[in-house]
Structure 1
Amino acid sequence: MLRRYQISLELLLRNKNDPFLDRIVTCDEKWILYDNRKRSSQWLDRDEPPKQFPKKKLHEKKTMLTVWWNSAGILHYEFLKTGETIDADNYCRQLDKMHENLARASPAVVNRKGPILLHDNARPHVSQKTSQKLSDLGYEILPHPPYSPDLSPTDYHFFKHLDNLVKGRVFKNQTDAENAFREFIASKTPDFYRKGIHDLVKRWQKCVDSNGAYFAQLSFV
């Protein structure tokens, strides 16, 4: 928790002296289940055997989504193909695509102070190849404490709202899942993305105020 406190305090002070939130690019991966129906319990009379239901063929099926975004909107996203994994090569390829989109959408961010990447310390993110790629592209890596989804905008904001969309839905295949994701991003205004990134300040402050404690929800008077 000390590391969480130290990093949050450092970033709070830095942003106060030289605001940098709109330079942040953030990303993460998420499994999208094909079957998002909640499993319900059975009410049984005493000595009544459990009812047998046919196994849902979709129950174990899922697809991996990777999304890159900033305070202005989506920069890049991909659904992995069957058998594909997120490794350093895949991550660097996506980095290149995202960077091209960022350079077109926000040339001032790329050409002046430079973009800042906020991601976790998953192995593909911290590999030597990825580190070299980020250096070549001119990215600063924002300090981020390990195991801190409550300080990651993609976790506490983007994926939280995406979960609300897919809750209870069933996708027949990956195309269905991809269409649902496109429906999700089409429904979001620029304020959605700005709020997700700018809420970092409140979360850093709460982390400092609680001496680095973890938290799930924020409440303010």
Structure 2
Amino acid sequence: MMKTRIEASEKFLQRWRKEGGRFLSSIITTDETWVNFYDPEMKRESMVGQRHLTNALRKKRPDCEIEDLIFHQDNAPAHRAEDTLLTIDFLGYERLQHPPYSPDLAPMDFCVFPRLKADLRGRRFKSEDEMKFAVRSAIRSYEKEWYADIFEKWVDRHRKCMPVAEAMEVFPRTITFAGQNMV
């Protein structure tokens, strides 16, 4: 498993070094999470009805050519299903490798979902539509710079997976994301 993490991180960093911000701007990272009709602020409180919400985090990339988009998914069974992989391949999208058991290398898991759940905690939803609207509103309210920072953290997390000699190599510290330089 460690070898797979290192190999995936090495490929990710090689691509990032070669293409920089263009590579990061082309990635669509997907995942799913549970959003509760009510997620109590106190864990002691009972939890009421859970609904699985998928595809709520699709972010349009108007500055990217559709054929240049790269899909990043973790290794959840739904993402590894033959139908899913065939559909992505049929549509002509590149798939970015993700090592098994590595939520620390999945931006949705290490940044987006924790913030989303914190923003929704304590709210009760009367319907699935109301819940979906709240999720979409929260995601849309996050600043572009916040998303760019997530991708910078993603690069840093891949660096940490590399052996010590590789990690000591000097990497550029400026990342260009969606046409803007981010430090």
1:130 and 2:134 correspond: no
2:108 maps to what in 1?
154
Question: Where does structure 1 differ by over 6 angstroms across 4 or more consecutive aligned residues?
Answer: none
Gap runs ≥5 in structure 1: 41-54, 76-101, 212-221
Normalising by structure 1, report the TM-score.
Answer: 0.64
CA shift digits 1:107-153 (9 cap, x unpaired): x4324xx2111002223322332222222211111110011111001
2:28 maps to what in 1?
25
Taking structure 1 as reference, are residues 27 and 206 closer, same or farther at Cα in structure 2, changes over 3 Å only?
same
Give me the whole-angstrom Cα distance separating, in 2, the residues matched to 1:160 and 1:209: 29
| 1:50-129 correspondence runs (5 A) | 59-67=47-55, 74-75=59-60, 105-106=62-63, 108-111=64-67, 114-129=68-83
The one-letter code of the counterpart of 2:50 is: K
Give me the whole-angstrom Cα distance separating, in 2, the residues matched to 1:135 and 1:176: 34
2:178 maps to what in 1?
none
Taking structure 1 as reference, are residues 185 and 133 closer, same or farther at Cα in structure 2, changes over 3 Å only?
same
1:200 and 2:158 correspond: no
Give me the whole-angstrom Cα distance separating, in 2, the residues matched to 1:210 and 1:160: 30
Question: Per-residue deviation at 1:60?
Answer: 3.9
Give me the whole-angstrom Cα distance separating, in 1, the residues matched to 2:56 and 2:132: 15
Taking structure 1 as reference, are residues 22 and 186 closer, same or farther at Cα in structure 2, changes over 3 Å only?
closer
Taking structure 1 as reference, are residues 131 and 39 closer, same or farther at Cα in structure 2, changes over 3 Å only?
closer
The one-letter code of the counterpart of 1:33 is: N
CA shift digits 1:70-126 (9 cap, x unpaired): 8xxx23xxxxxxxxxxxxxxxxxxxxxxxxxx5xx24x4324xx2111002223322
Taking structure 1 as reference, are residues 210 and 3 closer, same or farther at Cα in structure 2, changes over 3 Å only?
farther
Q: Secondary structure at the match of 1:199?
A: helix
Normalising by structure 2, report the TM-score.
Answer: 0.75
Q: Secondary structure at the match of 1:203?
A: helix
Q: Secondary structure at the match of 2:123?
A: coil
The CA RMSD over aligned residues, in Å, is 2.5
Give me the whole-angstrom Cα distance separating, in 2, the residues matched to 1:159 and 1:137: 27
The one-letter code of the counterpart of 2:75 is: N
When Rg is computed on C-alpha atoms for both structures, the one with the higher figure is 1
1:164 maps to what in 2?
118
Question: Per-residue deviation at 1:61?
Answer: 0.2
Give me the whole-angstrom Cα distance separating, in 2, the residues matched to 1:125 and 1:182: 22
Percent identity between the two aligned chains: 31
Taking structure 1 as reference, are residues 151 and 185 closer, same or farther at Cα in structure 2, changes over 3 Å only?
same
Conserved? CA contact 1:11–1:204, under 8 Å: yes
Question: Per-residue deviation at 1:210?
Answer: 7.2
Gap runs ≥5 in structure 2: 166-183
Q: How many residues align?
A: 161
